[in-house]
Structure 1
Amino acid sequence: RFIYCASYYLPMKPINDEILLTDQQFYEMFKYRSIDYYINMPNPCVLSYQVLRNNRFLIKVDVDNLRKHEEQCRNDPVCELLTTPYWFKIHVYYDIISTREFIVLTHGTVSMSHYPIVRLQMESLFNRFPLRHAISRDRFKQSVQLIIRYGAGMILLLADDGRGAGFGAYALDRMLLERGEVSNSDAARKRICVDHDTNDYDGTIALLKNHCPQGKIQLIMNNPSSILKKKECINALAEHRFEIKKWLFLRQEEF
């Protein structure tokens, strides 16, 4: 059903000024001056750091102080933190049935000892613009942060807006909500006669199986009630013999 079209690496802007380094990058950067030196400066470039799984380091920086330090000490290796991204790999598939493209973002290497973190995320046209409502974008950032901290995971982008119903249904849903004609999205869906969720989960989970053959994952959901609402997704995971080792729920506050 799927044709593997392309793959390439995608640099992603760090979340909340938290920079990820491998152990080799960390020791090379702080070989001559320890990280404590930058933490204890009058205007600290580094605010804190922590050791993550698989000998990785997450460094919280003060971007303004680091830029000022770069102006005075341009050759200091610590200035590289300003341009160090998160690295994800994009996998592009062509679906010969729906004639649509499916995109999977992966980070880290999945082994039999890992339970990779998985997020199914709407690839919304609305999220490509600076909108007032950026809930999906904030959820995407939280998902990236969870995957980065754990060290292995993937984000599967669902092609259609409006939980699979398309851009038109999504726009009508938003219009009814903003006019106050309905109290929630479920009521809006009933008004326009569209099912709660019409995404192609069977195809999406088939792609997940390709990237996670051991079939054991940690699944990100918006909140506990999503488990009941996403029956089609849960059923597709069960049909493909996935075992959900842990449920991860996103914080409700925005970034």
Structure 2
Amino acid sequence: MAGCAENPLDPGAGPVQRLASELRKLRSEAGSPTYRSMAQRTHQGASTLSQAAAGERLPTLPVVLAYVQACGGHPEEWEERWRQAAAEAAAEPRVEDEKAKPPHRGLARFEPADADLFFGCDELTERLFQQACLRRFTAVFGPSGSGKSSLLRAGLRERVVIAVRADFLGHCAQHPGLTAALRDGTVLAGPMSRDELREAVVKPAQAAGLIVERACCMTSLHSGNWASCPLPVMRSSHSP
């Protein structure tokens, strides 16, 4: 992702930021390839690889190994580094805070500070990321409650993209200049798949050190037509 400065990291702040800092160093030593070119060499998206070195949450091992592969690193060495970081992160004491936010945002939209709890939209985020890299103006359309605002704030972040309710598409088409700008620059936020819904329910809880029982998750996914349910409503069913 050329031209986008990454946020500074503090390797002494913990295992997650240390690993992210080491990944950035590896990329720098490899000649600082763009994340888009790294994605072309692996089976991971550019935004996924970028997030691996953001230092906000521990990336999965497959993502780290893909990052390392794209930069010419040694997989065995980096797998050991990841396992050490994962063990240290798991051993970190969790301070009980009665005022702590629940992992599921319910009806509230996700903000940039909630990026480490935003799951289930990787494919959509990647499509939007690629579109935003190629065009100066991009719009994401979707029905009310489809998660457009959360996608831009916690998923994409730091990109010039607008979110528009799908029922306003006709109004946009009344303006020739806007119509021309939106041509080939539109991404549609549609229903989530069952796997994406499961990820949106389970992974925020895991990130907060909690466990969603399998039976509870399966009951929730099978008890209603979540594919057509507004995303905030689905998430609110798992909030306190």
Q: Which has a greater percent of strand? A: 1
Report which of the two structures shows the higher radius of gyration computed on alpha carbons: 1
Per the normalisation by structure 1, the TM-score is 0.27
Q: Which has a greater percent of helix? A: 2
Per the normalisation by structure 2, the TM-score is 0.28
